[in-house]
Amino acid sequence: MLIHRAMRGSSLGAVLLLTACVSCSGGGGGSAPAPPPPPVASPPSAPPASTTPITGAQHHADMMSKLGLSSLLPARSPDENEPNGANYDESVANPYPDLPDPLVSDSGQSISNAQDWNTVRRDEILEHFEREIYGRVPASAPQLSWRVESTETSTLQGQSVLIRDVVATPNAPVDGIDVEIRMSLVTPTGQASPPPVLVMLGPDTTTPPAVPDSHGDLPRQHLLIENGWGYAMLSTDSIQPDNADGLSRGVIGYAAEGGYRDPEDWGALRAWAWGSSQALTYLRSLNDIDPDRIGIEGVSRYGKAALVAMAFDERFSAGLIASSGKGGATLLRRDFGESVTNLANPGAFHWMAGNFLKYADAAPDGLNPGDLPVDSHQLIALCAPRPVFVSIGIPEQGDSLWLDHFGTFKATLAANPVYELLGTTGLSPMPTDTAELPPVNTSLTDGPLAWRQHDGGHTDRPNIAPFTAWAEGQL
């Protein structure tokens, strides 16, 4: 049966107290531990007197002014033959070859035990990512109440399932800015114990019909149910629109009351990650879900956000990070495919903190990607020792070289020492030759840090079955 959940638009508004609202959820008793309070950021800039929303171009120009930047290096074209085309030559892909060491503190102290990692180094790395790359969650972020809008029972892959349409709205209004976060929760019923659930990030909450792809793989949601998992499709668009004009709307616009961001304020990736954490708090309050087996998944830009969510929120039990590219699991320092300049220019800067623009400065003495205090291997390391499965496809099927497959593998390798420090096997089996990508469809899934390049395209469908088998063993 086709399960379809259409998105709706409209809502309430604003700020007060975080509530799982279990009494109105219909989802059972128990209360989840409150998430850690968000870090306090600078007060937002005052909104303009006009009621006309600020455009993305105005947001970008304002941030450039705040940072004292006159121009940025141009964004790269995916076509290497175009002016300013991307580099796909591995021999010149590492202009900044020295990665920041995840096991050396900012003061130069060697991190040689789990206590030093947990009390010193992890916090330092988080601070760098917040300040320079993804941004801080402001104290004015909305406090939410969740409610179940509708429930129904159905059948998926021969399995009886319960479908819940869930909505979160702020507890206090902000004039002219509506926020209504939507999630479709689908869980198998009749099992002996509560199932694990995978939070799936994407623009809507629609479960596709059971139509196999060219490789014979069913849609991801069907495969999860078939393998005993539930899933929660969380609409990222209902958290924060995926465009620069949307910076005056969604939770970012709500927190700034429609005004401009400050350089350390959150971008869309951090906002989507924040929304994932709010959803996790709600899911952990339900008695028909295993609270210790809730993972997070995303492909492409949603893979970036899923990795950010898992790095910042240690309550997520596992992650499936697919084809995430720059800003996700691929090394930012590498000049291969997508570039830091692409993330800093008007087309994608809304994903990032304002401070990130500094690393694409066109001035001769400006900062560059080699000046970043952290890189993506440390983002993966922040997930340790929890299980993380890094997934990618092949260019021949549409998972473009733009994503920098080898840069993703190198970041995974560079995160491994933190997993080992924390007492796990890390990436296993470790390839004997790490100067090349492992062969396609080779599963490096014996440890909590897993890698698998499947033979499909820009999707993680072919890795869902390997992921669920691996996660069952890890969890």
CATH number for domain 52-474, candidates 3.40.190.10, 3.40.50.1820, 2.40.10.120, 3.40.50.300: 3.40.50.1820
b/e per residue 309-342 (b: at least 16 CB within 10 A): bbbbbebbbbbbbbbbbbbbbbbbbbbbbbbbbb
Task: Provide mean pLDDT across the span 243-251.
Answer: 98
Q: What is the pLDDT of residues 371-429, one digit of tens each?
A: 999 999 999 999 999 999 999 999 999 999 999 999 999 999 999 999 999 999 999 99
Q: How confident is the model at residue 465 (pLDDT cuts 50, 70, 90)?
A: very high
pLDDT mean across residues, the chain = 91
Q: Tell me if the bond preceding 188 is cis, omega within 30° of 0.
A: no
Alpha carbon distance, N-terminus to C-terminus of the chain? 31
Could you tell me what percentage of the chain is helix, strand and coil, using 3-state DSSP and rounding each to the nearest 5? 30, 15, 50
Task: Provide mean pLDDT across the span 456-465.
Answer: 97
Query: Which residue bears the tokens 């972020």?
Result: 141
The answer to whether the beta carbons of residues 368 and 344 sit under 8 Å apart is no
Q: What is the pLDDT of residues 64-109, one digit of tens each?
A: 999 999 999 999 999 999 999 999 999 999 999 999 999 999 999 9
Lowest mean pLDDT among 28-37, 120-129, 240-249: 28-37
- Identify which of 374, 293, 10, 28 has the alpha carbon closest to the alpha carbon of residue 167: 10
Q: How confident is the model at residue 49 (pLDDT cuts 50, 70, 90)?
A: very low
pLDDT score at 52: 84
Q: Calculate helix-pair angle for 301-312, 268-284, nearest 10 degrees.
A: 60
Question: Who wins on pLDDT, 213 or 439?
Answer: 439
Per-residue pLDDT at 165 exceeds 60: yes
Q: How confident is the model at residue 51 (pLDDT cuts 50, 70, 90)?
A: low
